[in-house]
Chain A
């Protein structure tokens, strides 16, 4: 679009700020036990304030209430949305305007509900909604677009204000969309970074794949060494064999890697330098206990375990 075209488009868009999506519309059904029960069953919410009249009668409220998060549910359009689509209103017209100009992407980004009073069975919820704000044109990770925010206000039959809802939506020009899944192929689960397997250490990882942790040994002076490397640091011999570790050891040093979660890895892993009883040191994860329970000198017992679809690694447990 040329700057003039963008200007003309934005003039149309911003004309929607302040427009009513709906004027005081009463919900089709009064707040009722049946819809509350359907909701609580699915959500696994056993709060007796919603569904237990005996408990509620002796509670501070004296009666059951609707789950506050249902505030918007009462005024939902219903099955027509799945069949004939949403009826025309300011919001659907705005969405259409965006779509017609290439802003076909849609993403809900934020929703904030505030509750001023609780609703109980029998209450008739009335909703009003306006298009409250539309942002300037913004470049986002999803593509260039505009955020628009609707503000809904909820009241009961007596005009008591029950709450408000602000819902922010991004309408954007989709950039390269991730390819739609065409089949029923399973979701791709991120796996850990594959271990680097070079000339000098491939054998170590292959033993690990088979469930063993090996320690390299100089055949000339019998010194053990880890990690694997081609030459003995004591006698400079390049001849070696290896022994299998019993994976008994103790914590020499440890930390918790507090980092935003990395796909494929557990969050906040405990990483330790472990002194194996054979004498060499190994960096591995301590699992099966809390970080606060780990201490220097603590005895550990290792096991080689499968930690994701394709990775075997030694994991150490409190002995």
Chain B
């Protein structure tokens, strides 16, 4: 019926790890991410403004980090999963030239609501923790 599979609630166990993703932080991703989220703050597209703020280059905006965290969860779960919440603690900036490794693990399951909690961390290879938090997904209960 479909090339896209979605995990059922019963398929998932607390402790399951999600496939890691390595995201290359490029100027293209930082600037395009800012524009795709309509975030025109100059620190996200103008290097001289970012440098005046004490950073070496333009840096990723929060809305892009949120997007990458959601994508990480739903790439794994499949498209019928419903994102219920996204809770991010922000850390070190993502600057062009870095690679962010995103990892995650299922930390809780709620049988009544079909909602699972996924603890997600995005660490870049230079400054460390860029984002850490929780994505909650509602998964189909299955047939």
Give residues in A with beta carbon < 8 Å to B: 35, 38-39, 41-49, 55, 58-60, 67-70, 72-73, 76-82, 107-115, 118, 177-182, 185-190, 261, 263
**A177–B82 alpha-carbon span in the complex (Å):** 42
Interface membership of B7, Cβ < 8 A? no
Residues of B within 8 A of A58 (CB): 1-2
Distance (whole angstroms) from the CB of B63 to the closest CB of chain A: 6
Interface membership of B108, Cβ < 8 A? no
Residues of A within 8 A of B67 (CB): 39, 42-43, 45, 67, 69-70
Please name 9 further chain A to chain B contacts, defined as beta carbons within 8 Å, in addition to the given A73-B36, A187-B95, sorted by A numbering. A42-B64, A47-B74, A47-B75, A59-B79, A59-B80, A111-B87, A180-B53, A181-B51, A261-B123
CB interface residues, B 92-143, toward A, < 8 Å: 95, 97-98, 123, 125-126, 128, 140
Q: Is the CB of A78 within 8 A of B40?
A: yes
**A48–B77 alpha-carbon span in the complex (Å):** 13
Q: Is the CB of B85 within 8 A of A81?
A: no
Q: Is the CB of B86 within 8 A of A68?
A: yes
Q: Is the CB of A181 within 8 A of B83?
A: no
Interface membership of B55, Cβ < 8 A? yes
Q: Is the CB of B79 within 8 A of A47?
A: yes
Give residues in B with beta carbon < 8 Å to A: 1-2, 4, 29, 32-33, 35-42, 45-46, 51-57, 62-64, 66-71, 74-75, 79-80, 82-90, 95, 97-98, 123, 125-126, 128, 140
**Which of A45, A76, A82, A112 is within 8 Å of B85, CB to CB?**
A112
Q: Is the CB of A182 within 8 A of B66?
A: no
**A190–B86 alpha-carbon span in the complex (Å):** 31
Distance (whole angstroms) from the CB of B4 to the closest CB of chain A: 6
Q: List 13 A-B contacts (CB under 8 A).
A: A38-B36, A49-B80, A55-B79, A58-B1, A73-B38, A78-B40, A107-B90, A110-B90, A111-B66, A112-B87, A113-B66, A115-B86, A180-B51
**A180–B63 alpha-carbon span in the complex (Å):** 25
> If A43-B64, A55-B4 touch, does A76 touch B39 (CB 8 Å cutoff)?
yes
| Residue among A69, A81, A113 with max Cβ neighbours from chain B (10 Å) | A69
Q: Is the CB of B54 within 8 A of A178?
A: yes
> If A47-B74, A181-B51 touch, does A60 touch B83 (CB 8 Å cutoff)?
no
> If A76-B37, A113-B86 touch, does A60 touch B140 (CB 8 Å cutoff)?
yes
**A28–B15 alpha-carbon span in the complex (Å):** 43
Q: Is the CB of A69 within 8 A of B66?
A: yes
**A45–B4 alpha-carbon span in the complex (Å):** 13
**A76–B4 alpha-carbon span in the complex (Å):** 32
**In this complex, what residue of B is CB-closest to A164?**
B85
Q: Is the CB of B66 within 8 A of A76?
A: no
Residues of B within 8 A of A181 (CB): 51, 55-57
> If A39-B67, A263-B128 touch, does A76 touch B38 (CB 8 Å cutoff)?
yes
**In this complex, what residue of B is CB-closest to A81?**
B40
Residues of A within 8 A of B123 (CB): 261
Residues of A within 8 A of B62 (CB): 108, 111
Distance (whole angstroms) from the CB of A86 to the closest CB of chain B: 9
| Residue among B29, B40, B97 with max Cβ neighbours from chain A (10 Å) | B40
Distance (whole angstroms) from the CB of B100 to the closest CB of chain A: 13
**A47–B83 alpha-carbon span in the complex (Å):** 12
> If A76-B37, A182-B51 touch, does A69 touch B32 (CB 8 Å cutoff)?
no
Distance (whole angstroms) from the CB of A46 to the closest CB of chain B: 8
Distance (whole angstroms) from the CB of B27 to the closest CB of chain A: 12
**Which of B53, B57, B68, B126 is within 8 Å of A43, CB to CB?**
B68
Q: Is the CB of B32 within 8 A of A68?
A: no
Distance (whole angstroms) from the CB of B52 to the closest CB of chain A: 7
Q: Is the CB of B37 within 8 A of A73?
A: yes
Q: Is the CB of B36 within 8 A of A113?
A: no
Q: Is the CB of A48 within 8 A of B4?
A: yes
> If A76-B39, A180-B54, A261-B128 touch, does A43 touch B33 (CB 8 Å cutoff)?
yes
Q: Is the CB of B2 within 8 A of A190?
A: no
Residues of A within 8 A of B128 (CB): 261, 263
